[in-house]
Amino acid sequence: MFDKLEKVIQKFNSLTDKLGDPTLYDRPQELKEVNTERSHLEPIAIAYQQYKKLRDDIVGAKDLLHQETDPEMKEMAREELSQNEALMTKLEQEIKILLLPKNPIDDKNVMVEIRAGAGGDEASIFVGDVLRMYQNYFRDLGFKSEFVTISEGDHGLKEVILSVQGDKVYSKLKYESGVHRVQRVPKTEAQGRVHTSTITVAVLPEADEVEFELNMNDVRVDVYRSGGSGGQSVNTTDSAVRVTHIPTGTVVAIQDEKSQHKNKDKALKILRARIYDKMVQEQHAKESANRKDQVGTGDRSERIRTYNFPQGRLTDHRINLTLYSLEKIIEGDMAPVVDALIAHHQALLLQGHEE
């Protein structure tokens, strides 16, 4: 571990020296790359500095313990040594986690798609509840989210697509993809019976143009007249847009805006994210056969979580996590769930590296 740490520190110092070169600021792309790489290494550099200081403090406490004759001073040295050794064990674990290989797409912004599944109106209502949960969680993290498209039902939301930007967004949200099941008494239920409904969530990483460029020769664009409920025309111009990626058969249709141009931009943004996500998932599937770090981030049809309102219980089925704080979680306090998933993922990665 320490050989790797020393190499990381050398690289960090080299990048820091580079930032001192005034000519670097004339090369914006290189400057961005240097800043990004340095920011990734900075937590390791800080942790290693803390480690070395702690190591020196432990040596000093041991020397004092052997040399000191005053019983009171010896007891103080013994207490300091015990505390520092406990901190050292904790810090070593943190450094091991920091040195684990990073998923290159963890830093990316995402598109979050939330759709009603089985359960009729209750599923649509739950889409709205989960949307609010995510929006509150995004606000706590300092993420910025905006609607790309939203489709309303009679008693809730059929589908919502959000664009989310911030620091390491995908790393926090990647475990949300899958089927979310809700168990509760619907507002429309007169007999007080508990119903089970489902919604699906998909978290799609957004790619930079240099990483993935959508070939427009592979895309068919159709325009048509927007329609409202019951087939009523809500627009007298052909502003609705349907884009089809011919090689994969992926289709996105948008009619939210009155402008055909805006609808086309939205549709292409969603299409691009879905195609890139498909590429990522295919690569993920190839790699996962020989890896032990899977927590179920790939299969969109997998039931990942149950929200049981009568019992105030949330269960994440992938890691056998059960929390009886559903009321707080559904209002956006998702950190206990997300942190547990990340910790489980890291533990599996550490286990794989130590074997």
210-240 tens-digit pLDDT? 567 788 888 898 888 776 543 444 445 678 8
Q: Is the pLDDT of residue 293 over 50?
A: no
Enter the pTM of the model.
Answer: 0.75
Output the pLDDT for position 301. 65
More confident residue, 287 or 85: 85
Q: What is the pLDDT of residues 165-220, one digit of tens each?
A: 998 899 999 999 999 999 998 876 667 788 899 999 999 998 776 567 788 888 89
Give the domains, in start order, of the chain with CATH numbers.
2-98 (1.20.58), 110-287+295-349 (3.30.70.1660)
For the cut 50, the answer to whether the pLDDT of residue 294 exceeds it is: no
Q: Tens digit of pLDDT for each residue in 115-168? A: 999 888 889 999 999 999 999 999 999 999 999 889 887 778 999 999 999 988
Q: Give the 3-state secondary structure of the chain.
A: CHHHHHHHHHHHHHHHHHHCCHHHHHCHHHHHHHHHHHHHHHHHHHHHHHHHHHHHHHHHHHHHHHHCCCHHHHHHHHHHHHHHHHHHHHHHHHHHHHCCCCCCCCCCCEEEEEEECCCCHHHHHHHHHHHHHHHHHHHHHCCEEEEEEEEECCCCEEEEEEEEECCCHHHHHHHHCEEEEEEECCCCCCCCCCEEEEEEEEEEECCCCCCCCCCHHHEEEEEECCECHHHCECCCCCCEEEEEECCCCEEEEECCCCCHHHHHHHHHHHHHHHHHHHHHHHHHHHHHCCCCCCCCCCCCCCEEEEEECCCCEEEECCCCEEECCHHHHCCCCCHHHHHHHHHHHHHHHHHHHHC
